């Protein structure tokens, strides 16, 4: 049974090139770490092919199944990882620099490249921290109902006209 199917959204794991595989790693693949890609096809050997990037050409990369993980758009305290962003009770954002078990190292709020706080996930939650959720990229499809659009813009559904 395959781990993924065509059409699945996946992300490329950090340091995937360190995971032993029979698939060759091209330097251009490393720039896709953390990016959201779509599985286009699966070879008989079990490798997964994705479009190279967000460009419009048809270049694709072959990935070992252990280099990819299913994309989950909802970040939780259990899935918190490097480069996720948390917001403290005062509304200041800090980037997650390291997660080691339940201990998190955070950046300064004014400079994401400076270390500021090392704290336990439970203590952060008790202190009012929340997780900033990722916003959809241009490559992702965003589906909204007319009611959701009307609510967002504060208009009646009957007053919405969608142009292409």
Please list, in sequence order, all residues whose beta carbon lies within 8 angstroms of the beta carbon of residue 119, skipping any fewer than 6 positions away.
103, 104, 106, 127
Question: In this structure, is residue 2 part of a structural domain?
Answer: no
Position 140 scores a pLDDT of: 54
Maximum average pLDDT range among 6-20, 63-77, 102-116, 143-157: 102-116
- Domain co-membership, 19 together with 60: yes
The answer to whether residues 124 and 86 touch, using CB atoms and an 8 Å cutoff, is yes
Written as six digits, the tokens of 52 are: 């190279």
- Domain co-membership, 112 together with 60: no
Could you tell me whether strands 60-63 and 48-51 are parallel, antiparallel, or unpaired per DSSP bridges?
antiparallel
- Domain co-membership, 90 together with 65: no
- Domain co-membership, 93 together with 65: no
Question: In this structure, is residue 89 part of a structural domain?
Answer: yes
**Which residues span the domain enclosing 64?**
9-70
- Domain co-membership, 93 together with 45: no
Question: In this structure, is residue 107 part of a structural domain?
Answer: yes
- Domain co-membership, 44 together with 97: no
User: How many structural domains comprise the chain?
Assistant: 2
Q: How confident is the model at residue 58 (pLDDT cuts 50, 70, 90)?
A: low
Q: pLDDT, tens digit, for every residue of 115-132? A: 999 999 999 999 999 998
C-alpha of 23 from chain center: 23
- Domain co-membership, 18 together with 63: yes
Computed over every residue of the chain, the mean pLDDT equals 82
- Domain co-membership, 106 together with 53: no
Q: pLDDT, tens digit, for every residue of 82-123? A: 888 999 989 999 999 999 999 999 999 999 999 999 999 999
- Domain co-membership, 17 together with 53: yes
- 53 has pLDDT over 70: no
- Domain co-membership, 35 together with 65: yes
Question: In this structure, is residue 18 part of a structural domain?
Answer: yes
- Domain co-membership, 57 together with 13: yes
Query: What does the pLDDT average to over 30-52?
Result: 78
Question: In this structure, is residue 75 part of a structural domain?
Answer: no
Maximum average pLDDT range among 45-54, 63-72, 87-96: 87-96
- Domain co-membership, 107 together with 59: no
């Amino acid at each position: 049974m395959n781990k993924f199917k065509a059409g699945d959204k996946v992300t490329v794991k950090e340091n995937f090139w360190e995971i032993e595989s029979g698939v060759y790693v091209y330097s251009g693949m490393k720039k896709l770490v953390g990016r959201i890609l779509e599985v286009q096809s699966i070879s008989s050997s079990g490798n997964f092919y994705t479009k190279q990037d967000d460009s419009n050409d048809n270049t694709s990369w072959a990935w070992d199944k252990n280099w990819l993980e299913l994309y989950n758009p909802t970040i939780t305290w259990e899935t918190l990882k490097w480069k996720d962003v948390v917001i403290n009770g005062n509304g200041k954002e800090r980037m997650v620099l390291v997660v080691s078990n339940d201990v998190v190292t955070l950046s300064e709020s004014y400079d994401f490249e400076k270390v500021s706080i090392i704290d336990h996930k439970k203590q952060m939650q008790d202190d009012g921290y929340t997780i900033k959720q990722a916003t959809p990229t241009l490559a992702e499809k965003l589906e909204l109902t007319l009611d959701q659009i009307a609510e967002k813009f504060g208009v009646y559904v009957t007053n919405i006209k969608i142009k292409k």
